[in-house]
């Protein structure tokens, strides 16, 4: 395997594996938020705010994986 093939493989693995965790995390966050709102509808605004904040932090991890994969590809 030459260096270019290794770079492409590293790029694919970095973004592929780096997006699995946040994807699962966002799904769990959304599911638990819907469950919480179903149990206590009065707390919807508080739950929604916390959910959006948690989703943003989980998505930041995927963005870090994207940045790392771009660094591997273009260096």
What homologous superfamily is domain 9-74 in, according to CATH?
A: F1F0 ATP synthase subunit C (1.20.20.10)
Longest dimension (CA), the chain: 59
Confidence class for position 57, pLDDT limits 50, 70, 90: very high
CB atoms within 10 A of CB 14: 20
Q: What is the pLDDT of residues 14-40, one digit of tens each?
A: 999 999 999 999 999 999 999 999 999
For residue 64, the model assigns a pLDDT of 94
Domain ranges for the chain, please list them: 9-74
Write out the DSSP string of the chain.
Answer: --HHHHHHHHHHHHHHHHHHHHHHHHHHHHHHHHHHHHH-GGGHHHHHHHHHHHHHHHHHHHHHHHHHHHHHHH-
């Amino acid at each position: 395997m030459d260096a270019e093939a290794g770079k492409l493989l590293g790029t694919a693995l970095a973004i592929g594996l780096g997006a699995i965790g946040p994807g699962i995390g966002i799904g769990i966050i959304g599911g638990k938020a819907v469950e919480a709102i179903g149990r206590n509808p009065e707390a919807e605004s508080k739950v929604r705010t916390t959910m959006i904040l948690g989703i943003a932090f989980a998505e930041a991890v995927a963005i870090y994986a994207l940045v790392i994969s771009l660094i591997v590809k273009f260096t």
